[in-house]
């Protein structure tokens, strides 16, 4: 995987956000090409496109993964769409908002029938490659040059969405995985922030004994458990690169680092970390357990910061964050699961390709400042113009910003690295561990068999 560019992007993110937090000027403000805003103080208008699209009625389907009304992205997308429609009365943007796994399944079905929405969501690298190979997406190289859009993205981040020098998607985030915790519930449980994984298991048991739900997860969307498992593997492997070593033939899934990670993960599950019926909670339902103060910890990408920022749990600055700890003394807490975000791609066969590209450009030009205004601008893939502290971001949000400065490397998610067949077997295998305890050797064998059967 292209680790170096992402490191550069994350470091650039930390530096940029740090400068922004100090009230420095922005390099992320996109130009409006000299055209004044029309009808909105929060939007910019592409030059020369309103006239082109005003002659015919156009409907653009915008598939997205922002269905949660408590997430700032929910309001952001509707605000930007409303502004665009006000400026382009002949264009109607139809939102198709789905949970992540629902969207993945729906897109696969649509792709099979060559009926991809005008705008859809893909994940970087290995996950989007099959769609690119199938010729489903339009190149965005020319579009990102308009209105300064390309310059708003952090250095290196677009590499994960580029194949054969063609850019096929634009990300909404560039994140790291962290643990959010409820300070009041920790106090009620008589526990402190764990500095090792073994302490984390102990904290789970103590909270459980006091009738406090230790952790929340939405494992119906199976990537959530995988994301946590991969952070454990990052530690037991002593650093990043386990999956790449498998791909390069240097290791197998039966390596001790992998089985140790399985055992540690099962220790957490068996300690009672997760809510009853975790596999029936989708991502939003799981996250809402934490946001409503019904769970003490939540392991997630820093993209969750915006929703937690305004939640019940964070009243009176009640939410803190900490780095995922070492496991059996292994690993470096400054190495994180890295998450170049889900990204917007455009159907090559869109009936309104010109208008769709125009809207997507407008959407992403306005995305950072709308998210900043909604206190959801932590972990964006684009630079952000604004002083976070002065804007009233919470101590928790500022803590997350500071964590970006500590990043010393890490791994991408399993399904962003491995081929789709192996990734699906992995997701199912890890999801099963929430239901029943399984010998680590069996889990390793499941993974190795899937890899051997699906590798190119």
Q: What is the pLDDT along the chain (456 residues), one digit of tens a residue?
A: 333 444 444 544 443 433 333 332 232 333 333 233 333 333 444 444 444 545 689 999 999 999 999 899 999 999 999 999 999 999 999 999 999 889 999 999 999 999 999 999 999 988 899 999 999 999 999 999 999 999 999 999 999 999 999 999 999 999 999 999 999 999 999 999 999 999 999 999 999 999 999 999 999 999 999 999 999 999 999 999 999 999 999 999 999 999 999 999 999 999 999 999 999 999 999 999 999 999 999 999 999 999 999 899 999 999 999 999 999 999 999 999 999 989 999 999 999 999 999 999 999 999 999 999 999 999 999 999 889 999 999 999 999 999 999 999 999 999 889 998 999 999 999 999 999 999 999 999 999 999 999 987
If asked whether residues 444 and 350 sit together in one domain, one would say no
Range list of β-strands (E), 5-152? 58-64, 91-97, 119-122
Number of domains into which the chain is organized: 2
If asked whether residues 325 and 381 sit together in one domain, one would say no
If asked whether residues 88 and 155 sit together in one domain, one would say yes
If asked whether residues 346 and 318 sit together in one domain, one would say no
If asked whether residues 237 and 288 sit together in one domain, one would say yes
If asked whether residues 107 and 150 sit together in one domain, one would say yes
CATH of the domain at 355: 3.40.190.10
Query: 85 in a domain, yes or no?
Result: yes
Query: 39 in a domain, yes or no?
Result: no
CA dist 361 and 368 (Å) reads 12
If asked whether residues 162 and 180 sit together in one domain, one would say no
Query: 31 in a domain, yes or no?
Result: no
If asked whether residues 169 and 270 sit together in one domain, one would say no
If asked whether residues 302 and 430 sit together in one domain, one would say yes
Query: 11 in a domain, yes or no?
Result: no
CA dist 71 and 420 (Å) reads 29
Query: 273 in a domain, yes or no?
Result: yes
Query: 6 in a domain, yes or no?
Result: no
Query: 21 in a domain, yes or no?
Result: no
Query: Domain residues for 159?
Result: 58-174+340-385
Question: What's the pTM?
Answer: 0.82
If asked whether residues 156 and 199 sit together in one domain, one would say no
Query: 35 in a domain, yes or no?
Result: no
If asked whether residues 306 and 421 sit together in one domain, one would say yes
If asked whether residues 228 and 306 sit together in one domain, one would say yes
CA dist 208 and 295 (Å) reads 10
Only one residue has tokens 């059996």, namely 328
- Residue ending a domain, among 370, 385, 400, is 385
């Amino acid at each position: 995987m292209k680790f170096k560019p992402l490191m550069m992007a994350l470091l650039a993110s930390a530096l940029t956000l740090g400068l922004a937090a100090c009230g420095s000027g922005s390099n992320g403000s996109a130009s409006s090409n000299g055209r004044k805003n029309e009808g909105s103080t929060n939007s910019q208008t592409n030059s020369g496109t309103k006239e082109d699209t005003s002659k015919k009625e156009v409907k653009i389907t915008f598939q997205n993964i922002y269905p949660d009304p408590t997430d700032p992205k929910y309001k952001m997308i509707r605000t930007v769409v409303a502004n665009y429609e006000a400026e382009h009365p002949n264009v109607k943007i139809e939102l198709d908002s789905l949970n992540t796994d629902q969207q993945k399944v729906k897109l696969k079905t649509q792709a099979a029938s060559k009926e991809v929405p005008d705008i859809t969501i893909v994940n970087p690298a290995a996950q989007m490659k099959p769609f690119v190979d199938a010729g489903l997406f339009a190149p965005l190289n020319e579009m990102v040059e308009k209105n300064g859009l390309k310059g708003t993205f952090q250095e290196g981040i677009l590499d994960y969405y580029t194949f054969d020098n063609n850019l096929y998607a634009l990300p909404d985030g560039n994140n790291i995985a962290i643990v959010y915790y409820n300070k009041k519930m920790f106090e009620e449980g008589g526990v402190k922030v764990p500095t090792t994984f073994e302490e984390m298991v102990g904290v789970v048991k103590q909270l459980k004994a006091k009738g406090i739900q230790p952790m929340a997860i939405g494992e119906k969307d199976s990537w959530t458990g995988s994301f946590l498992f991969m952070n454990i593997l990052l530690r037991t492997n002593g650093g990043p690169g386990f999956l790449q070593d498998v791909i390069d033939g240097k290791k197998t899934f039966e390596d001790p680092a992998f089985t140790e990670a399985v055992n540690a993960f099962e220790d957490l599950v068996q300690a009672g970390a997760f809510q009853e019926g975790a596999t029936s909670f989708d991502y939003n339902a799981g996250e809402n357990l934490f946001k409503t103060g019904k769970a003490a910890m939540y392991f997630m990408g820093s993209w969750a910061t915006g929703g937690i920022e305004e939640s019940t749990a964070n009243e009176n600055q009640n939410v803190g964050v900490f780095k995922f700890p070492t496991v059996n003394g292994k690993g470096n807490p400054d190495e994180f699961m890295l998450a170049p975000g889900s990204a917007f791609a455009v159907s090559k066969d869109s009936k309104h390709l010109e208008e769709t590209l125009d809207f997507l450009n407008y959407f992403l030009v306005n995305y950072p400042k709308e998210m900043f205004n909604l206190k959801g601008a932590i972990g964006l893939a684009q630079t952000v113009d604004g002083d976070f502290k002065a804007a009233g971001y919470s101590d928790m949000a500022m803590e997350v910003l500071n964590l970006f400065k500590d990043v010393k490397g890490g791994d991408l998610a399993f399904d962003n690295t491995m081929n789709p067949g192996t990734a699906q077997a992995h997701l199912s295998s890890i999801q099963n561990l929430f239901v029943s305890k399984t010998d680590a050797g069996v889990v390793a064998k499941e993974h190795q068999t899937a890899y051997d059967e699906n590798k190119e």
